[in-house]
Amino acid sequence: MKKFWVLFSLFILPLVFYIFLSKGIYKYSNLPILTEDVIDLKIISSATTATFSEKLTVVCFLGSDIKNAKASLFNLNQTIYKRYYQKPFFQMVAILPQGLENEYSETIQELSAFTDISKWHFIYPNEVNTTLLFDSFETPFKLNENGYSENAYIIDMELRLRGRKDDEDTKGGKLYGYNMKSVAILKNKMKDDIDIIYYQLKKSAEKKDRRKREI
C-alpha cells in the first residue's frame, strides 16, 4: 500500500494535474470576439496619432464629471495599466469631452506624478464622434448624460471588441465591459482576460516561428 501511494504521488498525481491544467488552458485560451469592425480612433479625432490597429487597447469613456471620472481613471491605472504598460502592443485610451482639456490637465498631471503615462492616450473628440465610437462597440449600454461609461473595454489588434460569453455574473452571460469602480472585477476578470489575449499572441508567434523553421 505504501508503494502504491508513493507511485501515485510521483506519477499519477502529476499526470492528473497536467490534464486538468491543460483542459483549463484550452477552455480559457480563447477570449470571445463580441463585436467586429470597431471604428478607429483616427476617424473620431484628427488631432490624435493613436490607433487601435496593431495594438491591444483598454479604452474608457470618462465624461465631464471629473470627480467621478478621476476615481475610475485611478482604479484603472493602478489595477490594469501598471501591470501591462511595459508589455508589447499595450496601450490605454481615455475618451474625454472636447473643450475640457484644461479641466483634465490637473488630473493627468497628478497621474503622471507617480506613473509613466507614455502608454496612455487622452483624446478629446466632439460629442457626436464620441457617441459614434461608443456605438460601434455594439454593447447594450449607453453613455450617460455626461458622456461617461462605468465600464472599460478591450479592443484587440484587429479592431474587435473582446469579452466573455459565459460570465456567471452577467445576465445572458455576455460581458462587454469591465466595471472600473470595482477593483475586484478589474483584478479578477479584466486582468485574466488580458492575460488570455497575451497567451493567444504568444501561441500564434510560436506557430509562425515553427512554420519558418519548417520552410
Q: What is the mean pLDDT of residues 183-197?
A: 97
Please report the pLDDT score of residue 10 as a whole number.
Answer: 61
Q: Where is pLDDT greater, at 28 or 190? A: 190
Torsion from C-alpha of 29, 35, 40, 41, nearest 10 degrees: -80
Q: Is the pLDDT of residue 93 over 80?
A: yes
Q: What is the mean pLDDT of residues 179-186?
A: 97
Q: What is the rounded average pLDDT for all residues in the chain?
A: 89
Q: What's the CA gap between 159 and 162, in Å, rounded?
A: 9
DSSP of 122-143: EE---HHHHHHHHHHT--S---
Short-list 115, 118, 119, 125, CA closest to 91: 119
Please report the pLDDT score of residue 75 as a whole number.
Answer: 97
Q: What is the mean pLDDT of residues 94-112?
A: 96
Share of the chain above pLDDT 70, in %: 84
Could you please state the CATH topology (level 3) that the domain comprising 29-214 is classified under. Glutaredoxin (3.40.30)
Q: Where is pLDDT greater, at 213 or 191? A: 191
Q: What is the mean pLDDT of residues 167-181?
A: 95
Please report the pLDDT score of residue 19 as a whole number.
Answer: 44
Q: Is the pLDDT of residue 205 over 60?
A: yes
Q: What's the CA gap between 208 and 185, in Å, rounded?
A: 34
Residue 9's pLDDT band (cuts 50, 70, 90)? low
Give the pTM.
Answer: 0.85
Please report the pLDDT score of residue 45 as a whole number.
Answer: 96
Please report the pLDDT score of residue 62 as a whole number.
Answer: 98
Q: Is the pLDDT of residue 38 over 80?
A: yes
Q: Is the pLDDT of residue 5 over 80?
A: no
